[in-house]
Amino acid sequence: MKIVVGNEKEISALIAEDFIKVINEKEKPVIGLATGTSPLQVYADLIKANKEGRVSFKNVTTFNLDEYVGLDGTHNQSYRYFMNENLFNHIDIDKANTNVLLGVGDYQKFMHEYDDMIAKAGGIDIQILGIGSDGHIAFNEPNTPFDSLTHETELTAQTIKDNSRLFNDISEVPTRAVTMGLKSIMNAKKIVLIATGKNKAQAVYGLIKGPITESMPCSILQKHPDCTIYVDEDAYSLVGNK
């Protein structure tokens, strides 16, 4: 595990360069994407690089980590909507090659096919992750089995509270989600994780220094052969103090 400390703008630029390098080196790159506030600057940097001609997404296939159960792709808090608004609408990608888990309709059938779809595409070459304040990655809440594949899960009260800032009221936050499992994530060839802010400090400590335990899902990343953790000083603050 490699650790890089910098401000949000610096580490986002570095992650964008990681993606650009992988995309430019591969004939048919497969990239894993995340939602939430953490990757927003990364996506802005990738849009800029695309417009400057430094990277093309014409041959790229994408897979997103998760989606809320109960929200369709037109809902402004769905992750399909998020990806369209913050990345896909602004780059030269074929949206037919963008895969986001479904939250409505026959979403469970699609969920059960997701890992096979990733494998048939050649596997994820680079996956970006954020991290929850309780150490969850994607929607793999504490005590999710390390051998889990894509599945449906019930969100914890902490996750619902953390995500309520994006909704008008906490009562609007969905209580269930579909998510890539921890094994699904670990199958990625390269992983980059971004964490910023004091509220992520305890989770980052568990990620880097804590025991590998299902009660801290992110700790499994200690076993990944090519994982880089990008953090700001606040998120890294407990690592140097314990």
Residue 140 DSSP symbol? B
Active site residue 8: no
Does the active-site annotation cover 151? no
Q: Are 136 and 177 in contact (CB under 8 A)?
A: no
What CA–CA distance (Å, rounded) separates 56 from 51? 9
Residue 161: count of CB within 10 angstroms of its CB: 13
Catalytic option among 45, 67, 115, 141 = 141
Write down the catalytic residue from 8, 45, 66, 162.
66
CB 4 within 8 A of CB 229: yes
Burial of residue 9, with CB atoms counted within 10 A of its CB: 0-12 exposed, 13-18 middle, 19 or more buried = exposed
What is the spatial distance between Cα 174 and Cα 75, in angstroms, rounded to a whole number?
12
Where do the H-state alpha helices sit in 26-150?
40-51, 79-86, 107-120
Amino acid, res. 70: G
Q: In 63-217, which ranges are continuous DSSP H helix?
A: 79-86, 107-120, 157-163, 182-186, 201-208
141 catalytic per annotation: yes
Catalytic-role residue among 8, 45, 67, 134: 134
Q: Residue 187 — left, alpha, or beta (φ > 0 → left; ψ -120 to 50 → alpha)?
A: alpha
Q: Active site residue: 8, 45, 125, 136, which one?
A: 136
User: Which amino acid type is present at position 63?
Assistant: F
By annotation, the residues acting in catalysis are: 66, 134, 136, 141
